[in-house]
Amino acid sequence: MSQALIKFYSEDCGICHKMSFYDQKVAKELNLEFIDVKMQDTATYRKYRKILLTQYPNKEGMGWPTYIVCESPEGDFKILGEVKGGHPKGEFRKRLQAILDNTPASE
């Protein structure tokens, strides 16, 4: 099953912009497909909003940005974990790795 890191963010979020200098690179290093979802991009948001709303039914408590790690984002997805807010590159990588380490290998 394919695993992906989905970034939900707003175009006017400074921290989100700062994270964009390394978030995609870290995802690639961890063998995660990177999916960039700007909330203002209606078509892309509609495609992935089911995943976001499963984790945050009324969007309350999300961070900016919110990263959701999931399996099969294009189909019957399964959320594996999340990272909320801005983090330095090393901390961001460590948090993603912890999610992946706690995920049983696909059968």
Residue 26 domain flag: yes
pLDDT at 75 over 80: yes
DSSP string, 29-97: HTT-EEEEEETT-HHHHHHHHHHHHHH-TT-TT--SSEEEEEE-TTSS-EEEEEEES---HHHHHHHHH
For residue 28, being part of any structural domain is answered with: yes
In a domain, 107, yes or no: no
pLDDT tens for 12-50 read 999 999 999 999 999 999 999 999 999 999 999 999 999
Portion of the chain with pLDDT greater than 90, in percent: 86
How many structural domains comprise the chain? Answer: 1
Give the structural domain span for 72: 3-101
Quote the pTM value: 0.92
Residue 75 lies in a domain: yes
Residue 106 lies in a domain: no
In sequence order, what are the beta bridge partners of 79? 70
CATH code of residue 94: 3.40.30.10
Q: Is the pLDDT of residue 1 over 90?
A: no
Q: Is the pLDDT of residue 107 over 70?
A: no
pLDDT exceeds cutoff 60 at 105: no
